[in-house]
């Protein structure tokens, strides 16, 4: 099979057909040249774009038909009977809903109303109209089946929010830039939030101003594109216009006066020689911190950090493990209780009892005093400060009338400053409220860190008021493609090499290493000698991808395509400085240990054959077969069949597809091993470990190596254009995934509290996507366009037993119920004179969580919400546009409540003290009261205002 793939990679076939050259210009009704218009030989992949003057030249077969298209204009078809052909396009007042698509097919491009697959097409204007500043957030408010999660606890997750299509997790959506695979991020999500244990490509780094359009394929596509495309594909098509430059200045702020934003972007282009173009984008932005802390509950803080129970035997056990003179090592709980009963009333018991009660009183006073001055416990919960620089270039030039070289490159630098939970003075106390020197051989807590008054105060006890560890992440992301296209004798050849990478380095400041480690002289290595700034190391991912794609329209009925891909991937964990990882490591974010650091790589070969057969102009059938072979887990063969039937009146189409797919475990999932600070309900912040599946610990615990996920994907749909300017599509889908990879729950082992990845279970997801558009509605002197799109999930559940017992209700909820089962987007655009009014309403359906530590008889339920966005554009001239946006116009915030699972849960909800206790458990005593610790699908920042000035030249 490898030989077959290599043959495909180097195969080049040529047949002789007569050809001719067609040239001309593309203009609009006013005679203005349209630079960047697309001219395609119908039924082929042969296409060119007009230059800065609207000119083009293309080699086509005798008798060919040319399809001329340009965004915002009606598509036109022309018979190529003469050597000179000038095209005139008319504006259609909005996005062309019948645009030629390049995603989801390897043979003949189809329009989105004739494709056999469900594909959403969004222009850059559609994305900008949302008022969002990054691509992922713009898609959130345009594509109902696309969801992204904002987490209240940041650290490394602040570099990239998790996103997904059809509730399938970040790892199962493939990202392409101009049809070429984009590299994954180096980040592995470890927090207990949707996306846990997965990776994703960073689409937030792609500048919106560089985008011509985005094609979102809502269907499995592993057969066409390889691993990761189980849920779908997002293909970002870059601008290819050599002129029509623009500079945009943006500013924004939240209703509460924080989260200030400032950004400037330049998009421009030029011709390159007589037959080339270059288009480039430079984008700088800064977003300040926005903070939404909750009010912290004093009782919960006292219970978590101070309280010692005077009725608990363990409170009286001496340092030498004795109680009332009896060694309790190995003794049962009943045995210890019996000793304790005999101990009660003794002088030693009475002294300790009094000390405990006195310490509880003084400790509670310390909590009350601090929270009186700082009701939010000085915690920071919101969106972090982010500085971003983005550079993108896209270009190409003709070597001849039949050959072209193309290239693009993207570089993103991102710096994020976020914060850990504030270490309150009673949390990291420097005074022991239970200290009683008259009682020998008894202590109720570890040594108290009196040195903190020197680290985070002026040396006096009164000056110490806690501390706030900071986290800084520096991200570098790059992606570049160099390719060669040719068309000879009807054969389209596309050969390319793509390189991409993502590296992240971390810094922790204003923290400490509180580990009890002594040097050879008995002095503390850390604690009072600890540094307060650390370099915990970082992570990196890189890939190199070689592609060869060959296609031909063999006849008016048969099209064939075949090709191959060679890819190498490298994942690296860089070691942190010693103080960041030794012992417990840096408080809040421990560093990468030497034994967990290293560099790993793998390679894979893939090849495919794609056939399309047009039985008639109404009935088409596509079939694709792909084989891939990975160096670390073996091979996989997948296939796909899709079809479309168009009724003779051209008003209705029916379409469907069935495919198999796979997803290889990422190198991150195979090799990551790390200590992680996380919130544990009722216990505050605790350290747990992640062990990988090839470690010695995994072998001892009997944990198997990871294998690929396998999937089956079925889609059936109907589309219609019943009237002029009206169209709709409805698609049913079902996705079954076998051997789904899961980062399990934490388990107590001989190696401590650890978690690991495993092929845990099978799952099934099914639902319905609907898209409806009605444009060009005359109202007064203007025109109105409306669209309604929705995603309804019928089923999202586990359909097999789990392979081990580390699949908790919390993880089940994260995977299956933490995303909206229903999401709708209703939008409208009204254009009149120099004004454009945009109104968008996004309905987020109910979601449920089972947070870690929550009573099993309860669940938390987020209530459905509608978020309304308003945009007003004013164009005083053809070159100048003022855009004002109000996102979340009515200041809608996430809202949740407890729900009973049964009668026992109903009884809890009738007891206010138990309700308060459960509330404290899942919000860290109120710190994350707005959206709990797991995050939600729209921002907790409330109303946000933005203003943009766009100048075109």
Alpha helices (H) along 601-758: 667-671, 696-701
Domains identified in the chain, total number:
3
The pLDDT-based confidence of 585 (bands split at 50, 70, 90) is very high
The strand order across the sheet containing 180-181 reads: 119-123, 211-217, 232-238, 173-177, 180-181
Question: Domain holding 806: CATH number?
Answer: 2.40.170.20
Q: Taking a C-beta distance cutoff of 8 angstroms, is the pair 832, 781 a contact? A: yes
Output the pLDDT for position 48.
81
DSSP state of 268: E
Q: Is the dihedral of CA 92, 98, 104, 106 positive or negative?
A: negative
Residue 397 inside a domain? The answer is: yes
Collapsed DSSP state (helix, strand, coil) of residue 647: coil
Q: Residue 100 has what pLDDT?
A: 53
Same domain for 618 and 695: yes
Residues in the chain: 953
Task: State residue 97's pLDDT score.
Answer: 42
Give the end-to-end CA distance of the chain in Å, rounded to a whole number: 54
Residue 39: give its domain's CATH number.
Answer: 2.60.40.1120
Strand partners, 824: 790, 843
Q: Would the pLDDT of 162 be above 60?
A: yes
Task: Kindly indicate the confidence band of residue 112, based on its pLDDT and cuts at 50, 70 and 90.
Answer: low
- Whether 114 maps to a domain, the answer reads no
Q: Are residue 798 and residue 880 in the same domain, yes or no?
A: yes
Do 42 and 141 lie in one domain? The reply is no
Q: Among 799, 836, 840, 841, which Cα is nearest to 816's? A: 799
- Same domain as 139, residue 158: yes
Predicted confidence (pLDDT) per residue in 26-44, tens digit: 887 656 667 677 899 888 8
Write phi, then psi, for 841 (nearest 5 degrees): -120, 125
Q: Can you give the residue range of the structural domain that contains 67? A: 2-92
Q: Are 763 and 817 in contact (CB under 8 A)?
A: no
Q: Are strands 276-287 and 385-398 parallel, antiparallel or unpaired?
A: antiparallel
Q: Whole-angstrom Cα distance, residue 252 to residue 267?
A: 21
- For residue 433, pLDDT over 90 is answered with no
pTM of the full structure: 0.87
Least confident span in 636-640, 759-763, 814-818 = 814-818
Mean pLDDT of the chain: 89
H/E stretch holding 593 reads none
Judge whether 451 lies within some domain.
yes
Is residue 26 domain-shared with residue 134, that is, in the same domain? no
Tell me, yes or no, whether 927 lies in a domain.
yes
Segment 405-420 mean pLDDT: 96
Residues 436 and 489 in one domain: no
Share of the chain above pLDDT 70, in %: 92
Q: 20 - beta bridge partners?
A: 60
Asked which of 463, 493, 527 is the last residue of a domain, the reply is 463
What is the band of 10 on the pLDDT scale with cuts at 50, 70, 90? very low
Give, in degrees to the nearest 5, the angle at Cα 770 between 886 and 45: 95
74, 92, 110 - which closes a domain: 92
Residue 42 lies in a domain: yes
Least confident of 509-513, 672-676, 701-705: 672-676
Return d(Cα 239, Cα 500) in angstroms, integer. Answer: 20
Return the pLDDT at 267: 96
Please check whether residues 768 and 809 belong to one and the same domain. Answer: yes
Name which of 178, 5, 172 is nearest 626 in CA terms.
Answer: 5
Give the residue, 940 or 375, on which the prediction is more confident. 375
* Predicted pLDDT of residue 8: 43
Last residue of a domain, one of 447, 463, 479: 463
Q: What is the mean pLDDT of residues 347-363?
A: 95
Residue 94's pLDDT band, with cuts at 50, 70 and 90, is very low
Q: Looking at the structure, do residues 237 and 360 belong to the same domain, yes or no?
A: no
Residue-wise pLDDT tens digits, 77-86: 898 877 778 8
- pLDDT at 160 (0 to 100): 86
Joined together, the tokens standing for residue 286 give 């800064």
pLDDT 10s digits, 538-557: 999 999 999 999 998 888 78
113 vs 100: CA distance, rounded Å = 9
Same domain, 181 and 320: no
Task: Specify if 108 maps to a domain.
Answer: no
**Shared domain check, 839 and 736:** yes
Residues 214 and 264 in one domain: yes
Contact by Cβ (8 Å): 820, 862: no
pLDDT at residue 437 is higher than 90? no
Same-domain status, 853 and 881: yes
Residue 131 lies in a domain: yes
In a domain, 105, yes or no: no
């Amino acid at each position: 099979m490898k030989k077959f793939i290599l043959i495909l990679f180097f195969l080049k076939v040529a047949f002789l057909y007569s050809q001719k050259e067609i040239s001309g210009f593309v203009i609009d009704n006013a005679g203005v040249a349209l630079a960047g218009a697309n001219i395609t030989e119908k039924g082929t992949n042969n296409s060119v774009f007009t230059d800065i003057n609207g000119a083009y030249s293309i080699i086509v077969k005798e008798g060919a038909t040319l399809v001329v298209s340009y965004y915002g204009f009606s598509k036109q078809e022309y018979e190529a009977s003469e050597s000179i052909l000038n095209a005139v396009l008319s504006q259609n007042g909005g996005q062309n809903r019948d645009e030629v698509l390049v995603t989801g097919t390897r043979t003949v491009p189809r329009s989105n109303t004739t494709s056999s697959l469900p594909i959403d097409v969004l222009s850059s204007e559609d994305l900008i109209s949302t008022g969002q500043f990054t691509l992922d957030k713009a898609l959130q408010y345009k594509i109902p089946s696309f969801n992204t999660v904002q987490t209240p606890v940041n650290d490394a997750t602040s570099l990239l929010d998790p996103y997904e299509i059809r509730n399938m997790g970040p790892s199962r959506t493939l990202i392409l830039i101009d049809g070429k695979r984009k590299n994954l991020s180096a980040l592995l999500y470890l927090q207990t939030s949707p996306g846990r244990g997965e990776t994703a490509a960073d689409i937030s780094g792609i500048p919106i101003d560089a985008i011509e359009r985005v094609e979102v394929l809502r269907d499995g596509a592993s057969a066409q594109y390889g691993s990761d495309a189980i849920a779908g594909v997002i293909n970002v098509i870059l601008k290819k216009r050599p002129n029509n430059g623009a500079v945009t200045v943006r500013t924004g702020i939240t209703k509460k006066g924080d989260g200030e934003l400032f950004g400037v972007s330049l998009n421009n282009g030029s011709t390159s020689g007589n037959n080339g173009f270059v288009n480039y984008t430079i984008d700088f932005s800064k977003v300040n911190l926005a903070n939404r802390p909750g009010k912290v509950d004093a009782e919960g803080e006292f219970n978590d950090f101070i309280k010692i129970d005077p009725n608990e035997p363990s409170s009286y056990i001496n340092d030498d493990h004795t109680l009332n003179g009896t060694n309790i090592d190995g003794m049962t709980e009943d045995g210890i209780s019996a000793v304790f009963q005999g101990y009660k009333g003794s002088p030693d018991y009475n002294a300790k009892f009094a000390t405990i009660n006195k310490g509880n009183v003084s400790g509670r006073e310390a909590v009350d005093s601090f929270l009186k001055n700082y009701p939010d416990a000085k915690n920071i919960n919101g969106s972090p400060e982010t500085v971003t620089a983005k550079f993108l270039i896209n270009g190409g030039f003709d070597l001849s009338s039949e050959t072209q070289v193309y290239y693009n490159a993207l570089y993103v630098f991102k710096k994020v400053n976020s914060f850990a939970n504030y270490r309150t003075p009673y949390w990291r106390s420097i005074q022991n409220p239970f200290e009683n020197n008259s009682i020998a051989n008894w202590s109720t807590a570890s040594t108290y860190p009196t040195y903190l008054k020197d680290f985070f105060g002026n040396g006096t006890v009164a000056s110490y008021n806690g501390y706030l560890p900071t986290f800084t992440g520096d991200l570098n992301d790059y992606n570049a493609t160099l390719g060669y296209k040719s068309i000879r004798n009807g054969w389209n050849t596309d050969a390319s090499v793509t390189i991409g990478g993502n590296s992240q380095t971390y810094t922790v400041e204003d923290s400490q290493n509180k580990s009890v480690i002594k040097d050879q002289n008995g002095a503390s290595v850390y604690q009072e000698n600890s540094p307060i700034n650390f370099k915990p190391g970082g992570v990196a991912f890189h890939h190199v991808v070689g592609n060869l794609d060959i296609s031909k329209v063999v006849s008016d009925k048969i099209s064939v395509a075949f090709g191959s891909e060679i890819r190498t991937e490298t994942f690296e964990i860089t070691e942190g400085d010693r103080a960041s990882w030794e012992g417990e490591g840096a408080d809040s974010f421990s560093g990468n240990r030497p034994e967990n650091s290293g560099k790993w790589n793998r390679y894979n070969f893939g090849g495919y054959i794609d056939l399309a057969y047009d039985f008639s102009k109404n009935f088409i059938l596509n079939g694709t077969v792909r084989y891939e072979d990975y160096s670390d887990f073996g091979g996989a063969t997948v296939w796909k069949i899709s079809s479309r039937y168009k009724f003779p009146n051209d008003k209705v189409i029916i379409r469907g597809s069935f495919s198999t797919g796979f997803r290889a475990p990422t190198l991150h999932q195979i090799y990551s091993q790390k200590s992680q600070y996380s919130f544990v309900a009722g216990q505050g912040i605790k350290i747990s470990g992640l062990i990988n599946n090839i470690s010695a610990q995994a072998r001892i615990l009997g944990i198997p190596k990871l294998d690929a996920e396998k999937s089956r994907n079925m889609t059936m749909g109907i589309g219609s254009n019943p009237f002029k300017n009206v169209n709709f599509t409805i698609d049913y889908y079902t996705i079954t995934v076998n051997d789904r990879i899961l980062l399990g729950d934490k388990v107590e082992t001989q190696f401590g509290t650890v978690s690991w990845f495993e092929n845990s279970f099978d799952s099934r997801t099914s639902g319905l996507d609907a898209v409806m558009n009605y444009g060009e509605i005359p109202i007064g002197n203007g025109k109105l366009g409306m669209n309604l799109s929705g995603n309804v999930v019928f089923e999202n559940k586990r359909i097999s037993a789990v392979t081990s017992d580390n699949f908790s209700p919390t993880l089940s909820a994260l995977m299956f119920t933490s995303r909206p089962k229903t999401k709708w987007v209703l939008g409208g655009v009204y254009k009149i004179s120099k004004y454009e009014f945009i109104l968008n309403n996004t309905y987020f359906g109910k979601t449920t969580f089972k947070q870690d530590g929550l009573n099993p008889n309860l669940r938390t339920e987020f209530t459905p919400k509608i978020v309304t966005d308003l945009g007003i554009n004013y164009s005083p001239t053809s070159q100048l546009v003022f855009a004002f946006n109000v996102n979340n116009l009515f200041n809608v915030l996430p809202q949740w409540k407890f729900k009973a699972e049964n009668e026992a849960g109903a009884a809890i909800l009738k007891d206010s003290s138990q309700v308060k206790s459960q509330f404290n458990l899942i919000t860290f005593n109120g710190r994350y009261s707005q959206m709990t610790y797991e995050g939600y699908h729209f921002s907790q920042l409330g109303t946000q205002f933005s203003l943009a000035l766009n100048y075109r030249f």
